């Protein structure tokens, strides 16, 4: 019986190490990808905001009737900017909890508190699920808005 108990204890210890490594990889992977996408989308937002300013200035300073193409470009740019802002807001809801989760994970590993480790595992699964939902929303938006655009 002691041989079986030792084997079970060794199995659980090895499983915990594998789970810790996997959990840390998921946390850091999601964080890196989310921050990268956030910065790219933010740069698109800044470029679009400059276009919006240019179109508004052109519309406001036009002495005669405003060009309909300029109005159309302005409406498209504003819609695009709002869509990018929505995407970045979803990404912030991944980045901020991910940083918090990383801190909790490090604390659980340093302190050895078992309940904190299990909480980190559970929260990692929730964060991973939410990240998948955001990816599916992004893909749906792409297919719905831009796939048959040209």
Cα four-point dihedral sign 6, 7, 9, 10: positive
pLDDT (tens digit, 9 = 90+) per residue, 128-143?
Answer: 999 999 999 889 888 8
Percent of the chain with pLDDT over 70: 97
Residue 93 has pLDDT above 90, yes or no: yes
- Cβ-based burial of 49 (10 A; exposed 0-12, middle 13-18, buried ≥19): middle
pLDDT (tens digit, 9 = 90+) per residue, 65-74?
Answer: 888 899 999 9
Mean pLDDT of the region 64-93: 92
Residue 90 has pLDDT above 80, yes or no: yes
Averaged pLDDT score across all residues of the chain? 88
pLDDT value at residue 34:
96
Residue 109 has pLDDT above 70, yes or no: yes
Return the exposure string of 115-146: e unless at least 16 CB atoms fall within 10 Å of the residue's CB, then b.
eebeebbebbeebbebbeebeeebeeeeeeee
Q: Give the global pTM.
A: 0.80
Return the exposure string of 19-40: e unless at least 16 CB atoms fall within 10 Å of the residue's CB, then b.
ebeebbebbeebbeebeebbee
Residue 28 has pLDDT above 80, yes or no: yes
pLDDT value at residue 146:
72
**Closest to 93 in 3D by CA, of 122, 139, 133, 125:** 133
pLDDT value at residue 142:
83
pLDDT value at residue 149:
58
């Amino acid at each position: 019986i002691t041989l079986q108990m030792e084997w079970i204890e060794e199995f659980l210890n090895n499983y915990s190490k594998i789970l810790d490594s996997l959990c840390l990889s998921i946390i850091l992977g999601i964080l890196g990808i989310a921050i990268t996408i956030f910065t790219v989308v933010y740069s698109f937002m800044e470029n679009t905001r400059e276009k919006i300013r240019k179109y508004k200035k052109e519309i406001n300073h036009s002495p005669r009737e405003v060009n309909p193409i300029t109005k159309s470009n302005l409406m498209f740019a504003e819609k695009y900017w709002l869509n990018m802002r929505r995407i970045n807001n979803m990404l912030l809801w991944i980045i901020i909890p991910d940083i918090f989760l990383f801190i909790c994970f490090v604390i659980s590993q340093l302190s050895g508190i078992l309940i904190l480790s299990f909480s980190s595992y559970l929260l990692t699964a929730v964060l991973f699920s939410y990240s998948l939902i955001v990816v599916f929303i992004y893909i749906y938006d792409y297919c719905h808005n831009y796939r048959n655009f040209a």
